[in-house]
Structure 1
Amino acid sequence: MRVVIAGAGAVGRSIAGELLENGHEVLLIDNDPDAVAVRRVPEAEWLLADAAEIATLDEAALERCQVVIAASGDDKVNLVVSLLAKTEYGVPRVVARVNNPKNEWLFNDAWGVDVAVSTPRLMSALVEEAVSVGDLVRLLRFSQGEANLVELTLPQGAALVGTRVGEVAWPQDTALVTIIRGVKVLIPDPDDALAAGDELLFVAAPAREAQLQALLSPRPGKE
């Protein structure tokens, strides 16, 4: 898979290193000569240029890319790169970094963004996930399809403890993706019985989150 990363700072280089280790082809773009440090990620291709310019993206051959990652420290640049990648080059998958949470509402399919990653929001969600049992926590927002990746740790006394996955009437537009039980990561099977302490990961429409929270909550008077 060919991936272009706009922004060769610490975030962009780290992503590039992970992708290269997994056997992908990576091109890093940055207009700061200090950021274009080939020795740090020598296996990647490098381009010293402005990623928000059509001429740069032509040179990067975005039409041959399967994924573009807008990972610069400037939200305006990330939005422009995302929009151009999707509308001018038809890139199938565009992932964009959100630096300022106040700008998160802009990072949607209207700007060509398939997945928006907000580091502050993600860190906050991980803190909540670590301390909140029985509360639905948003981990990631998918711009296409108006869906979120959400997590809930099933509390003691929840109505669904002991219920088989296939017997649960999950809300519409909701999918149970995986069950984390201790050190095990389980692919949900209809015959699996839910247990207290299970971490449940869902892809769910925002409008269904309240229903999902209610379904997984403890029975009245039980903890």
Structure 2
Amino acid sequence: MRVAIAGAGAVGQSIARELLEGGHRVMLIERSAQNYQPKAIADAEWVQADACELASLEDAGLESCDVMIAATGDDKVNLVVSLLAKTEFAVRRVVARVNDPRAEWLFTEAWGVDVAVSTPRMLAAMVEEAVNVGDLVRLMTLRQGQANLVEVTLPDPTPLAGRRVRDLALPAEAALVTILRGGRVIVPEADDPLEPGDEMLFVAPVEAEQRLREVVHDQPAG
């Protein structure tokens, strides 16, 4: 997968390293001479240009990228980059960093954003996850609110201990995508048993979240 990252500051470089370790091809686009440091991440492709300029993105070959990550420290820049990537270059997936939580409402499909990442919201979610065992925690909003990535940690004891994944009466529009158990990441199969302490990650719309809570606590529907 080829990934373009607008902004090669500390955040952009950290993302680039993670993606390169995952075997992806990375292009870093940076306007500032101070942050343009090809030697810092030699395996990445570096472009010194303004990611808000259409001609610069054309020269960089953005149309060949599968993902654009707008990771600058300026929300206005991230919105413009997202819009150009989606509307002018048809980049399949656009992820944008939200620096000011007050501007988060702008990061929607109208600006070309598929996923908006707000650090304050993610930190708050992590705190909730740490203290609210057994309750549903919303980690991330996907597709402009059409669905959320939500997490729940099964308490100890749990009425679901020993049950199989197939026994979960999940709402039709919700999906269990992974189970974190100890240091393991489990891709759930129908016959996998559930254990106390399992961290379960679901993708579900808001209207299905209450039913997920009932399922986790083994309550009947309705």
User: Does structure 1 residue 136 correspond to structure 2 residue 136?
Assistant: yes
Query: Share of identical aligned residues, percent?
Result: 60
Q: Which residue of 1 aligns with 2:99?
A: 99
Partner of 1:78: 78
Q: 1:110, 1:206 → 2: CA distance? A: 21
2:49 aligns with: 49
User: What is the distance in 1 between the residues matched to 2:35 and 2:3?
Assistant: 18
Taking the aligned partners of 1:22 and 1:168, their CA distance within structure 2 comes to 33
Q: Deviations over 1:117-140 (max 9, x none)?
A: 111211221122122201111112
Matched, 1:150 2:150: yes
Counterpart code for 2:13: R
Cα distance, 1:155 vs. partner?
1.8
Q: Evaluate the alpha carbon distance shift between residue 191 and residue 24 of structure 1 in structure 2; reply closer, same or farther with a 3 A threshold.
A: closer
What amino acid is aligned across from residue 103 of structure 1 in structure 2?
Answer: A
| Structure 2 counterpart of 1:33 | 33
- 1:111-130 equivalences under 5 Å are 111-130=111-130
Q: d(CA) in 1 for partners of 2:11 and 2:50?
A: 17
Letter of the structure 2 residue corresponding to residue 215 of structure 1 = V
**Higher mean displacement: 174-183 or 187-196:** 187-196
Matched residue, 2:216? 216
Any conservation in 2 of the 1:174–1:203 contact (CA below 8 Å)?
A: yes
8 Å CA contact retained: 1:156, 1:218: no
Which ranges in structure 1 are unaligned for 5 or more consecutive residues? none
Please give the root-mean-square deviation of Cα atoms over the aligned residues, in Å: 1.9
TM-superposed deviation, 1:144 = 5.6
Distance 1:193 1:23 in 2: 32
Superposition TM-score, scaled by structure 2 size: 0.90
What amino acid sits opposite 1:166 in the alignment? R
Q: What's 2:191 paired with? A: 191
Q: Tell me which residue corresponds to 1:175.
A: 175
Map of 1:61 onto structure 2: 61
Letter in 1 for 2:4: V
Q: CA deviation at 1:110?
A: 2.1
Counterpart residue identity of residue 173, structure 2: D
CA distance in 2, matches of 1:16, 1:30: 13
1:58-89 deviation digits (Å, cap 9, x = unpaired)? 11111111111100011111111111101111
Aligned residues of 2:169 and 2:215 also touching (Cα < 8 A):
no
Identify which range, 157-166 or 122-131, moves more after superposition.
157-166
Letter in 1 for 2:79: L
Q: Does 1:24 align with 2:24?
A: yes
- The TM-score normalised by the length of structure 1 is 0.90
Secondary structure at the counterpart of residue 39 of structure 2 = helix
1:38 is paired with a residue whose SS is coil
The number of equivalent residue pairs is: 219
Secondary structure (helix, strand or coil) at the match of 1:8 reads coil
Q: Secondary structure at the match of 1:59?
A: helix
